[in-house]
Structures are given as structure tokens and as C-alpha cells.
């Protein structure tokens, strides 16, 4: 039985990915800060798929917790085949001169440092087995910088760079590294970005069909089902209505 770890699996892309990987027969480690959501997902996966689930409730920003939970996995969970570094967020949207340093810390600590902490401990299992696949959820915001996106875009550019760096450094260990860069997806992402303002969040997706979390899970299915000798290095996935971060067609309402 193969094993996958998905960070930030309590909702959105991470949840859809955990469900997809379980449906493909992976035993899944699901992580996130909201314990109840993790428990609900564990029950849903067990109900739908005949696989084992390990739910680990921690914050990726906390190195001690990452080391404790992922660095000391139970013996039967150590043969990790796939790591999906998905936990991430944007907080705030506005000109950089008006940015809140606390929001910057949250994005940098989660999207860059959290991804590094998790990768560091999980890589060790893959290096020992001389195989594995790390999938980093970056963003189109890691390819382009857009108006008022400043620090979030910078963190996703960093993820893009880390994917490239991991691919080089982990080459001798036979570890695949894929960078997944989605465009706009209708998850809790904008609710988090606008600090709970649902009206503002809903406006982001008005007038066009955004990506759904399941669309990215489908892409991840494709990535993990390539033959051993094939790696997809980088994949940019957009809603059809969105060409790039500045060109989006919304229908008249
Ligand atoms: P959601 O807000 O729906 O999900 C984010 C997930 O990340 C949640 O499960 C959340 O869990 C988890 N998370 C956030 N902070 C932490 C933390 N400190 N420790 C552990 N888990 C954390 O958004 P998406 O599903 O859209 O986002 C998933 C990834 O996709 C992110 O990296 C995002 O940047 C990226 N992305 C999203 C796009 C979009 O338009 N939606 C487009 C491109 C990329 P909990 O709160 O329970 O900890
Ligand atoms: C999230 C998508 O376009 O809001 O990474 O940056 S976008």
C-alpha cells in the first residue's frame, strides 16, 4: 500500500487531494490546525475508501510540532511515497506601503518556512528509500506579480524557487519534485485573505467559473500516476476564463 502526506487537508485543495489519493488506494496522513475538520475528513475517507488514515493536528509554522508529528511517524507510516505541500494562505490585499507586518509574517511563516519544515523531515524518509515524490502547491502568483498581491506573490515565487532547488538537490536521491501552480480556485482561500469578509470573498469569483479544488486533485492524480521514469516538473492550471493574473473575463450580471 502506498503512503501520501497532505498538509492543510482540512478544506479546499488539500481536502480534495486527500480524498483523491485515498480513492487511488493511498494510505493518507492528513494534517491541519482544525482538529474537528480533520476528524470529519478521517471519517469521510474511511467511509469512502478502504485505506488507513493518520490525522495529525499541528501548525506547519511550528518547527517543534512538525518535528514531533512528522519526524516521528509510526513505523508503518514511514515509507512515504508522496508529500503534497499544500498548507498555505494569503492574508490581506492592498498596496505594500499599507501592508501589515503581522500578515506578512503569517504568509512567510506558513507558505515558505512551513513548507521547508515539513519537507525537511519528510525528505529523510524518502532519501532512506531512494524514492519519493514531493508536490509543492505554488500558484500563478509564483509566476507573476499582480496588483496588491505583493507579499503573497513573493512567498509563492519562493515556493517556485524551492521546487527548482529541491529538484536539483534531491536528484541523487531519485526524488521527483513537481511544482503545481493553480490560478483562481473557489476554496476558503479568499475568505482567509479577506479575514472572514464573505461578501468580498464571494465577489472574487463572481461572473466566471473558477477552478474547483477537485480540478487540482485531478491534476495531482495525473502527476502521481506517471511511470517511474517520468516526472512533471511544473504545471500551470488556470480557469478557462483567466489567461493570467491580469486578464480575466467576467460575464455581465
Ligand atoms: P483553503 O483556505 O481552502 O485551505 C488552506 C489549507 O491550509 C487549510 O486546510 C488550512 O488548514 C491549511 N493551513 C493554513 N495555514 C496552516 C498552518 N499554519 N498550519 C497547517 N495548516 C495550515 O485554501 P486553498 O485550498 O485554496 O489553498 C491551498 C493551497 O493552494 C495554498 O497553498 C494556496 O496558496 C494555494 N493556492 C490557492 C489558490 C486559490 O485560488 N484558492 C490558487 C493557487 C494556489 P487549517 O486552517 O485547518 O490549519
Ligand atoms: C491564489 C490565486 O490569483 O489569487 O494563489 O493569487 S491568486
pLDDT, one tens digit per residue, over 127-185 is 999 999 999 999 999 999 999 999 999 999 999 999 999 999 999 999 999 999 999 99
Confidence (pLDDT) at 252: 75
Domains of the chain: 3-237 (3.40.50.720)
Nearest to 6 by CA among 46, 43, 42: 42
Residue 181 β-bridge partners? 236
Task: With a cut of 70, list the residues of the chain below it in pLDDT.
Answer: 253
Q: Which ligand is nearest to the CA of 244?
A: 2
Confidence (pLDDT) at 20: 98
The catalytic residue among 26, 69, 152, 205 is 152
Instruction: Based on the residue annotation, tell me whether 152 is a catalytic residue of this protein.
Output: yes
Please say whether the beta carbons of 9 and 31 come within 8 A. yes
Apex 79 CA angle, 172 and 162, nearest 5: 45
Confidence (pLDDT) at 33: 98
Q: Is 227 exposed, middle or buried (0-12, 13-18, 19+ CB in 10 A)?
A: exposed
Confidence (pLDDT) at 130: 98
Ligand 1, closest atom to CA 61?
18
Ligand 2, closest atom to CA 242?
3
Amino acid at each position: 500500500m502506498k503512503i501520501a502526506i497532505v498538509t492543510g487537508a482540512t478544506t479546499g485543495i488539500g481536502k480534495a487531494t486527500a480524498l483523491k489519493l485515498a480513492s487511488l488506494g493511498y494510505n493518507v496522513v492528513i494534517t491541519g490546525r482544525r482538529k474537528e475538520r480533520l476528524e470529519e475528513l478521517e471519517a469521510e475517507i474511511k467511509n469512502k475508501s478502504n485505506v488507513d488514515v493518520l490525522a495529525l493536528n499541528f501548525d506547519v509554522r511550528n518547527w517543534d510540532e512538525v518535528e514531533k508529528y512528522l519526524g516521528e511517524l509510526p513505523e508503518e507510516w514511514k515509507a512515504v511515497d508522496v508529500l503534497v505541500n499544500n498548507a498555505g494562505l494569503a492574508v490581506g490585499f492592498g498596496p505594500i506601503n499599507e501592508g501589515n507586518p503581522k500578515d506578512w509574517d503569517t504568509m512567510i511563516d506558513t507558505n515558505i518556512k512551513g513548507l521547508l519544515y515539513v519537507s525537511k523531515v519528510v525528505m529523510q524518509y524518502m532519501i532512506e528509500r531512494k524514492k519519493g515524490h514531493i508536490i509543492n502547491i505554488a500558484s500563478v502568483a509564483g509566476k507573476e506579480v499582480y496588483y496588491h498581491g505583493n507579499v503573497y506573490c513573493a512567498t509563492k515565487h519562493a515556493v517556485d524557487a524551492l521546487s527548482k532547488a529541491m529538484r536539483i538537490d534531491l536528484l541523487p536521491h531519485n526524488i521527483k519534485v513537481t511544482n503545481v501552480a493553480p490560478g483562481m480556485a473557489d476554496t476558503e482561500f479568499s475568505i482567509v485573505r479577506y479575514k472572514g469578509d464573505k461578501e468580498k470573498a464571494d465577489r472574487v469569483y463572481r461572473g466566471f467559473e473558477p477552478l474547483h479544488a477537485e480540478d487540482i486533485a485531478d491534476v495531482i492524480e495525473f502527476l502521481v500516476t506517471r511511470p517511474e521514469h517520468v516526472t512533471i516538473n511544473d504545471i500551470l492550471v488556470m480557469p478557462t476564463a483567466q489567461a493570467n493574473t491580469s486578464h480575466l473575463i467576467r460575464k455581465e450580471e
